[in-house]
């Protein structure tokens, strides 16, 4: 189980996350939705160990992260919305580097397969600075997928991608899901006809699980107002009285 318990984080005097708690199950794809500025990127950075929360615990199985986690932890991979690269390394050299860091065996065949899947096989010798934003996003995703991490966090992975690439990402996430990985991605959209296993909504510095029966589109999820539930509960309490 991946568990977040009473997590809080602030930028100076501005609190972004407050006593936030939720859980993820292995072998599921979870969507993190929320308005701009809700704190989705901050939360993902905390979960991945890129930013240290003020208080709270983040657990992977029985392991409390930040006490045992290393920068090259093969269990956890985070792809930010604007990934960085080494401009002096080609696409292929990036894949060789990441495979070496994370001790990926027989990486060449998997690298070839992923390059073909993402339609980058003809650009294997290209440098990142020469790539479009969408191609750079594909490279970042391939670098994450080749590791087959136990936990994968993605921040707005579909933004710069075309429809075909978006569907490829979703198909690859389902492959990772079949391995039992925990997958959490922030997004305002989903590939047509796709459904996540869990939907999380960030509102008012908190995260809550929203049942898929309570909304009929990603737009409706984004605009879901839990005050409706609170009003209903008050009405029920009044009736009981």
CA-based nearest residue to 113, from 172, 164, 174? 172
> Strand pairing partners for 77?
152
The pLDDT score that the predictor gives to residue 72 is 52
The pLDDT score that the predictor gives to residue 228 is 52
The pLDDT score that the predictor gives to residue 8 is 94
Report residue 212's pLDDT band, with 50, 70 and 90 as the boundaries: confident
Q: 213-224 in b/e burial notation, b at 16+ Cβ within 10 A?
A: eebeebeebbeb
Of 58-62, 132-136, 150-154, least confident by mean pLDDT is 58-62
Using an 8 Å Cβ cutoff, are 130 and 122 in contact?
no
pLDDT above 90 (res 118): yes
CA-based nearest residue to 148, from 70, 224, 81, 76? 76
pLDDT in tens, 2-24: 999 999 999 888 999 999 999 99
pLDDT in tens, 42-95: 999 999 988 888 899 999 987 877 654 454 566 899 999 999 999 999 999 999
Provide φ and ψ at 79, rounded to 5°.
-110, 110
pLDDT above 70 (res 230): no
Domains and CATH numbers, the chain: 2-240 (3.40.50.300)
Average pLDDT value for residue range 108-135: 97
Report residue 219's pLDDT band, with 50, 70 and 90 as the boundaries: confident
Pick 74 or 177 by higher pLDDT: 177
pLDDT above 90 (res 150): yes
The pLDDT score that the predictor gives to residue 86 is 96
Average pLDDT value for residue range 29-47: 94
Residues belonging to the chain: 241
pLDDT above 50 (res 126): yes
pLDDT above 70 (res 226): no
Provide φ and ψ at 161, rounded to 5°.
-95, 150
């Amino acid at each position: 189980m991946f568990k977040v318990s009473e997590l809080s984080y602030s930028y100076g005097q501005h609190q972004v996350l407050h006593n936030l708690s939720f859980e993820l199950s292995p072998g599921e794809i979870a969507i993190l939705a929320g308005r701009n500025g809700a704190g989705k990127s901050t939360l993902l950075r905390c979960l991945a160990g890129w930013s240290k929360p003020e208080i709270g615990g983040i657990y992977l199985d029985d392991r409390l992260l930040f006490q045992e986690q290393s920068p090259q932890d093969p269990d956890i991979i985070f792809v930010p919305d604007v990934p960085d690269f080494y401009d002096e390394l080609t696409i292929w050299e990036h894949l060789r580097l990441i495979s070496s860091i994370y001790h990926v065996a027989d990486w060449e065949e998997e690298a070839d397969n992923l390059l073909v899947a993402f339609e980058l096989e003809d650009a294997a010798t290209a440098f990142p600075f020469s790539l479009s934003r969408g191609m750079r996003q594909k490279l970042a995703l391939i670098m994450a997928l080749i590791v087959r991490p136990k936990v994968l966090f993605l921040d707005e992975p579909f933004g710069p991608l075309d429809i075909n690439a978006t569907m490829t990402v979703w198909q690859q996430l389902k492959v990772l899901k079949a391995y039992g990985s925990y997958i959490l991605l922030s997004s305002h959209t989903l590939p047509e006809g796709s459904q996540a296993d869990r939907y999380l909504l960030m509102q008012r510095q908190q995260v809550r699980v929203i049942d898929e029966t309570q909304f009929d589109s990603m737009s409706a999820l984004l605009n879901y107002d839990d005050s409706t539930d609170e009003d209903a509960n008050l009405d029920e309490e009044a009736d009981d009285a």
